[in-house]
Structure 1
Amino acid sequence: MIKTLKEKKYNLIFGVIIGFVLAQIILAEGYAILVSRQQEIAFMSTDLMKSFNNPLKILSGIIFIFTVILFNTKKFIKFNLDRIGSYLILVVLVSITVAFEVTFIVFLVGIKMFPNWQYYMENNYFISINIFYIICFIGVSVFLITFILLVNIKVRYIKYLTKEVQVIKNEGFGKTIDVRGGDELSELCKSINNMSLELGKKIENEKNIENNKNELITNISHDLKTPLTSIIGYLELLNSNGINENDKEKYISIAYKKSLRLKELVNELFEYTKLSGSDIKLVKDKVNISTLLNQAVGESIINFSEKNIEVFLNNPYSEIFCEADSTQILRVFENLIKNAEKYSNSDSVFKVTVAVNNKNVLISLSNKCKEIMEKDLENIFEKFYRNDKSRSEEGSGLGLPIAKRIIELHNGRLWAEKTGDNVKFNIQLQSIA
């Protein structure tokens, strides 16, 4: 519908322009004939001139109306007059009109300046042929000058586009070009801008991926190197002579624990990589997350008691059902609890509270820990991030990012906040009936 209206608009414009040009030509030719006849018949009266004048105007009006109607018939509307094509046609028509009008004015001025022009034309072939050439030269020159001036408007914009595309090529994607007008060139400019912005984003994303990959390799190398070096060291001790049985058992036990630690690091890395993929699929079902939370907290009490940390669970709900992957949600609880075990101060309290408001489930886990800055809270869910810059604490730095990613896959939220000396992790999920 919109396309049809645009086509009709262009056809109406061209019909009016061409009709006007044809009407002007008819009037000009008619007046030229009348002037010529008046000079031949010196006694032609003014009334007779007026009697010819009115039919000329009527004829030119009929031609104008007929041309407009003709250009708006179905056959003409079917022609694909795009905006550049329309502009070029308009340029040609305007150039022809200007050339014709200028030539006609020059002709009339010549007649006024040389009243006996007809005598010279009839009696001197050389003068007549040169006058014809001069008139043609003037008409063609005016046409070409007008055409070049009007077309040069678009040519300058094309040169500008070419220059700006070269700038984008040299300086990098992400730059944009000024859009001028509303024709196909402006649409091309918009397409170039969109391409530049999209490629700029992709290149920036590729750089981030490359940086993340390098960071990943660096951190993995560091985290895997520590337990691996310990295992190799203890195995070398076991391979040496003069070790008593007690030391041998001790070294074997330590090497075994280090190998378990190495396995844990590899598993967490694999889990994070899998969760970061775009093709991850969760096995969701109707899950009682209240039971999962009670289970995870209950299993951690012994570990907390070793550091004289009291566990306080405030969960008044026996049933809170969510559509979730039970294995992954349990992993979230375990990761957050392990984080509290690792960083909680001795002789403190680990508190877990549950609140339900309409269908919003809020689970909060808070613990007192070493001093942590607000800026550290902003980065705490970044992979491999640790508040311990020296990386002396054991851990992959992937537990919290894994937990956050799992919650996001469940369309929930996980965030951290500082309340006094405590750090609180909040999980928000949607419950179902």
Structure 2
Amino acid sequence: MKKISRNLWLKLAAFIVCSVMAAGLVATTIVAVYTNNYESTAQLRDEIHANIAAAYSRQMVYNYESGDDTAFSQMIDDTNLQAAVVKSNETSEDKVDVKSDAAKVYSSVDEISNPDYIFSYKANNLKWNRLSNLWDAMSGSYEESGAASSDMNSEKISSIMYSKTNGLFYLCLNDGTAYVIPKVRVMTGSNDNSSLGLYKVVEKTDENGNKYFAYEEMFTGQSLDITGFAEWKNVKCYDEKGNHIKCGMNLSEDSDSYFDSDGSYYDYDEDIYYDRYEIIKVVEQVNESYELLPDTFNISDTGFVYYPYTSTEDKPEYYYVYAKLPEQLQEKGDYFNQADSLLDVMEFTEAHLSVLFVIFILGFVITAGYLLTVAGKREDSEEIKLRLYDRLPYEVMLGVTMLADFMVFPAGFLLIKQLPVVALICLAATMISLEAILSTYVRIRAHEFWKHTLCYYVVRFFLKPVKKLCRMVFAPIRYGFSWIERNVPLFLISMLAFGFICLLELIGFGIGSIGFIFIIKLIELALLIAFIMQYDRIRCATKAIANDDFSQPVDTSRLMLFFRKHGEDLNNVSNGIEAAVSEKMKSERFRTELITNVSHDIKTPLTSIINYVDLLQKEDIDNEKVREYLDVLDRQSSRLKKLIQDLLEASKASTGSINVELEELDAAVMLSQVAGEYEEKFEKNNLDLIIKNDVTPVMIQADGRHLWRVFDNLMNNINKYAQPGTRVYIDIIPKDSGAIITFKNVSATPLNISSDELKERFVRGDSSRNTEGSGLGLSIAESLMKLMNGTLELTVDGDLFKVTLEF
């Protein structure tokens, strides 16, 4: 299968195309859904034009009412709206005398033949409705200053009150007037199943001939008993037409008021009872009024009362705006022009809806499929790799994406005049959203989604210290339980001892005897001292074993309980270590004796061979081939002799069988003598020897013969294995009562071996073993240094070979 190209520019182009397709698909879907409510875009255009015309008309009337006499003319000049304005007290446009000069406010209706729109607005009833953008004009919504009514006045209900003085319910308005409520429905009694009574107000006359109102039950004629209101549950008020009256008040429960168990509400600040359900104020008396609520009043559910005006002069005035648009809009930059720009785009989209959907869907599917296939992959690798953006905390990336998406809405409102700018902003938001989707996909494919989130960082930040704290807290507990599992008898003994001591102390405190308690404390002190003494004996024995002293076994005859068992175990360990050491020493002595005996047995015939070879070399032999054979025999026999000598010396040095006579020597002088012997050999191998010594003499304590052998072995080793054409450095650094001497050279062959292995016997740095040598030189040098109370440290760093001698 052909590999899909992952060229950076191709991915960038696919990303841009995919973003355009996605934005176009969303925009086309919005247009399709929005225009689905209309038969055509032309119908939508008519509705939007009507809303804009109404918005301009409202703003003209408001500005004129606010004192701007040029409001109408300025609006007509600045927009495509053509209008005539008339003012009248009539509530119906059919009754308005449009030809009256007194009614005319701006222009003449005759000039507006066949107006497209007629708008009416109640004077002093419009709020501030500034048209800040096209959406405000197109929406068709606006606010009024109060409850609008064409033929009735209005007033808000302030409350419903019950007067204890005359037993009447009153509807109280904000203007201070109060009217007797004609009908009430009362549920009396102390439970929810009490009887229901409907009472109607009737006019009566008292003994003095004074008229008053009272409530009587509509069917039985029984008067309303106000004494039952101590336990009333609910009261519903109605007007003469039977409409339910709601005052619309909201009471808040605070510290100074509460609901009683019978459902009533008491306000301590006002010293007034309220019904919980209908929110009726219970007062001693209302400003006495015996005017019944007229049947011409209309009650709304929002707490307003509508009533007829008392005279024609009191009726409000209305502005009638007769508006029309020209057949061809002029380019004035008003909301009509701006709306048409948007509508033109929508009209084109609606006309080619199917084609656009196919193009956008196919383009989006193809480019999105390609982006998902190559997401996270580089041009030369199949591995999913995260970019810097993919490593951002996911919550941060999601917040940036949401912010970009939310910015589309205010941008659309504020920049609707410039559709290309809005389109670019929407495209940018779509790109950010698409990038977030791709980043999420890459994180999931790379199995690193959780790793790059704020939650992960928070958890990781707090998890380590929490784990550490838990380990600190629970580690001793776990250790304690594990110790108990391993030492159950000892734990039981300890608990029994502790319990026995506690029991004795309780007895002492119980009988109140200071002497008894004192004796118990003395016993505890004696036990503690005995415990410490036995522990110290075990500690001393353990320290002696650690110092390789096995001559003093632990005396277990005076140890108690588990201390005795521990002492016996230490003695067994000591005996085992001593036996192992003895066996090792025996094995070492046997090996040394074996090497010595074998070397002596080989040395005797080897001496004969060397002597006869020497005699043959002195003879006059004409055969060149025979002379070559004698040279080989001479060279190899000498090499074998040197190997046997090294082997004997290494054996003696490792067992300490060599006599060492330490004396004060000048290390610099001896090293210069050894260097002189190797000067010719170094020149032959093209090695440049550099000795650094700033202080002379450099006095050390050493054996001269053995020190010479150490220097000779190291110099011989350098001569054999150093890279030709390089420098060899020897540094002599004096110190208190001694010196430090370092040898440094570059190896000719790779040193694929550790420094410890190089110091072992028969190991050579030349793995091919092309050079002469026994592999014993460094081992002999290290053993001789130990015998002289010095150290030899070998360091390998790449091809750098370094030996440090310290005296």
TM-score by length of 2: 0.27
Higher strand share: 2
TM-score, length of structure 1 as denominator length: 0.47
For the pair shown, the structure with the greater C-alpha radius of gyration is 2
